[in-house]
Structures are given as structure tokens and as C-alpha cells.
Amino acid sequence: MFLPFWQRLLATVVTMLVASYLAGLAWQAVLNFPLPSYVAGLVGGVAALPVWDLLKRIRPSKA
């Protein structure tokens, strides 16, 4: 299955947003104050890197 660039980009952005949101929820539950935005961005960016790499590797099989 080949994913075009726009689908990979969309999946990566969704992963970034979900990871940042979940990190913020966990931080709030544990420490009782909001997660700083730069930390949320860092978490989202780090989560997006392996997803982008994985989606880049998905290529049609050569038969």
C-alpha cells in the first residue's frame, strides 16, 4: 500500500496532536498544573518522527 505525501503528512499531524493532548492530560493528572506548551510541542514532535519514518517505508511490493 502506497501512501501519497498528503496522507503521510495528515497522519503525522494527527499523531502529533494526539500525543501532545495525551501528554497534557497525563501531566495534569499527575502534577495538577498545565503542561507547558513547549513541552507539549516536544512530545508531539518526538512522537511524529517514528510515525513519519514508518509511513515513508510503506511501499507497494514489487511483484
Print burial letters for 2-19: b (CB count within 10 Å at least 16), e (below 16): eeeeeebeebbeebbeeb
Rounded to two decimals, the pTM is 0.83
For Cα atoms 42, 55, 40, give the angle at the middle one, nearest 5 degrees: 15
The pLDDT score that the predictor gives to residue 3 is 79
Would you list the domain boundaries of the chain? 5-57
Q: How far apart are CA 26 and CA 14, in angstroms?
A: 18
- DSSP-derived secondary structure letter, 35: P
- Per DSSP (E only), the strands in the chain are none
Model confidence pLDDT, tens digit, residues 21-60: 999 999 999 999 999 999 999 999 999 999 999 988 876 6
Residue recorded with cell 514489487: 62
